Amino acid sequence: MILEIQRKVAESFSLKYAETELNIDLSESEFNLLNKGIFATNMEGKWNIFIVDSSVYFVRSWSYNCIFKVDFEKNNRKTILRNLKITRDQLQYKSTDINYDKTEFKNSKMNIIERRKSQWLTLHKNNAMFIGYLVNFVFRKLLIFKLKNSRKQFHWLRGRKATPIHC
């Protein structure tokens, strides 16, 4: 999602909203995931999550309805998610219970971050394994190539009395 669309979606956050305190600490790596943005790539991914200015927006991926807005504060290497704002536009979001919304946000939306973090770690672990396999494959090919060429270099010795060559 391009920055211009992100800004327009952020500006569309409803003027009718409920607000509650969160005070959730994020590590630097977790914040970096949010800063890059988390975007749905298929219909199972229900949320687009991105930062505009000093707020994190949680937007329905298929309707672009901005449901949650979270103000954050950066302190050294930690980021604190301070206030959770939940739309109260009944056309976009049906819930009216702030405690339920806060619990749901903490449980499900923060799990998205954890899952994306673990996917990122798995991706890099798999890339490292792939590079290891690739290096192993290239090494084996070079070794086979060298052995084949070494036989070709000494084919003229056939039929003659071979003398040992010390390397």
Query: What HEC string does 101-129 produce?
Result: HHHHHHHHHHHHHHHHHHHHHHHHHHHHH
Tell me what the pLDDT averaged over the chain comes to.
Answer: 77
Confidence band, pLDDT 50/70/90 cuts, at residue 26: confident
Domains in the chain: boundaries: 3-109
* pLDDT for the residue 24: 86
Q: What is the per-residue burial (b if ≥16 Cβ within 10 Å, else e) of 86-109?
A: bbbbeebbeeeeeeebbeebeeeb
Q: At what angle do helices 28-36 and 110-153 cross, to 10 degrees?
A: 90
pLDDT digits (tens, 9 = 90+) for 126-140: 555 555 555 655 656
- Asked if the model's pLDDT at residue 155 lies above 60, the reply is no
Confidence band, pLDDT 50/70/90 cuts, at residue 27: confident
Hey, what amino acid is at 74? K
- Asked if the model's pLDDT at residue 9 lies above 70, the reply is yes
- Percent of the chain predicted with pLDDT > 90: 25
- Asked if the model's pLDDT at residue 55 lies above 90, the reply is yes
pTM: 0.66
| CB-count burial class (<10 Å; 0-12, 13-18, 19+) for 121 | exposed
Confidence band, pLDDT 50/70/90 cuts, at residue 153: low
- Asked if the model's pLDDT at residue 113 lies above 60, the reply is yes
Contact 69, 9 (CB under 8 A): no
- Asked if the model's pLDDT at residue 122 lies above 80, the reply is no
pLDDT digits (tens, 9 = 90+) for 58-101: 998 888 899 999 999 988 778 899 999 999 999 998 988 999 98
CA distance 4 to 150: 62
Higher pLDDT, 61 or 149: 61
